[in-house]
Chain A
Amino acid sequence: MHLHKYEKIWLTFGLGSLALFLVIIGFAAFWKGTHPMSHIETIDPQNVEAHESFKPENLGLREVAEGKYAVNIVASAFNYNIGTDADGKPVKKIRVPKGSTVLFQITTKDVVHGFQVAGTNVNMMVEPGHVSRLETVMKNAGEFTVVCNEYCGIGHHQMFATVEVYE
């Protein structure tokens, strides 16, 4: 099969850039640990309370060490259960200081949901039978909307929360 000279140059350049590009994302993934969220841990979706992290009293924000937090959430159509506050009211806002490390752990009792803290790198699918888990450093202060970004039913657009990162 005959290749034109210019086509050879074009393809060599293209394949070279492609190889470089793949090396970069491979390096970032395997050496810098920037894989997308791929936590592997199963759970019974009919009985999520059996899991230590998703017992009703363990839901919500906890400081696990100096500057380190964990947030446990149970998603269901069309709500994120982030525990209750001192008055027994459902929590809708997660507040953490700027620069803190936050571990999000979330699962669902019913259908597939999404969990994105818009404006940050926290974006993961939440699927029945699996635990999704992602740790991140909240570097910027501000109010971030948490949205369910996987269609979960006709109330999908009413499923949200807020993360506030304060100075």
Chain B
Amino acid sequence: MKQNFQNAIIATVLSFVLLSLTIGGLIQVEGIETTVVARPWYVVIGCTIVFIIQLFRDQLVFVFKGFGNVLKTLVRAEQIAEHAIQLKGSDRFNPLFYLTVLICLSVYPFIVSDKLWIGMFIDIYIYILLALGLNIVVGYAGLLNLGYIAFYAVGAYTYGILNHFYDFSFWLALPLSGMTAALAGIILGFPVLRLRGDYLAIVTLGFGQVLVILLRNLGSITGGPDGIGSIDRPTMFGIEFSRRAKEGGVPFHEFFGLEYNSIIKDFFFYFLALALVIFTIYVISRLVKMPIGRSWEALREDETACKSLGINSTSVKLSAFAISSFFAGLAGCFFAAKQRHISPESFEFIESVIVLAIVVMGGMGSTIGIILAAIFVAVLKDYSQDLQEYRMLIFSLILIVMMIWRPRGLFPATRPFIKLQNRQKSQECGC
């Protein structure tokens, strides 16, 4: 207790200094006058929180562990079901579970039938896409990428530019956006993948920042700070979702003889996002069971051992970078089509932090964990909208807390179980 008290005092003094400098004062510019408004209460509250947390550290760890255990029992039911199926020698796929989830998600937009509620889920789906992609690099390959959102930007701008200048349709641009982002991943990867750990994190962070600056300043191509506007929405088999179609086209509501209702468009985006998520989950769940996915994990575990077994660690890293960027590119292309307007603002560093927070919270390498964490974080982001820059604090805090107390995430990944005896007799192998 005495030890804790000392620590608490030290931490509080440190926080006092830091908080005074950061949130203790607010600079206000009115005309030519600049005044600093002192905000002592912010500092006092901050210091009190730090003091209490430090003082009751041990108890808090206990509470947090308890919370983790409750969560564990909640997911155990699903894990046991998975385990039982694996023992039968089939894949980890539990059709009933996934079917139920899929049905719920499919009826959801019709039940709420509200732009905002549908939009919220579309945002969640985008975060799921991004987090699943980032998880390949961070969770599986163990390479910290702090500039991941840059690849999302590459995807978005690929569609924006191709559509604006060359009239590419969404469906043609979608794979191209993925591939351009993957290419950007490889181009960035070549020089930096020799770096390890912290250095790699810093270089990728720099890359993210540089890209935003480039987008701001390459006015003639990217539209500068204003970005690119009136990007075409996707069509479904050539049918458009706007009130009036372009020349020669037929809008959806006329095609089916319905009243025009803008929510149809939201339904469409909802299912498009859902389809992208399902596609991504399927592809990634296959990849991680394939030789390529195994080599990502092996690389994370021990690069030297990989090399000694003839695995080219550079190409393994590049493949992780490229494939993870590919999914960011897909997400970016979808984002551009949904917003119809993209600008550098959407690709700030905070977005990289949010996606990273999802991956870390969800349990690196665990798909179900990432989906739940994405929902949590997207909702948290919505509700913390008013806090503006201080949101960064919240997400940083989440990262730090997770790293200290549950470094393997709330839902640690389970290792695949492969049954050996009589394996040849059963049709499926769990690989």
Q: Do A and B come from one complex?
A: no
Task: Show the binding face of A for B, using Cβ within 8 Å.
Answer: none
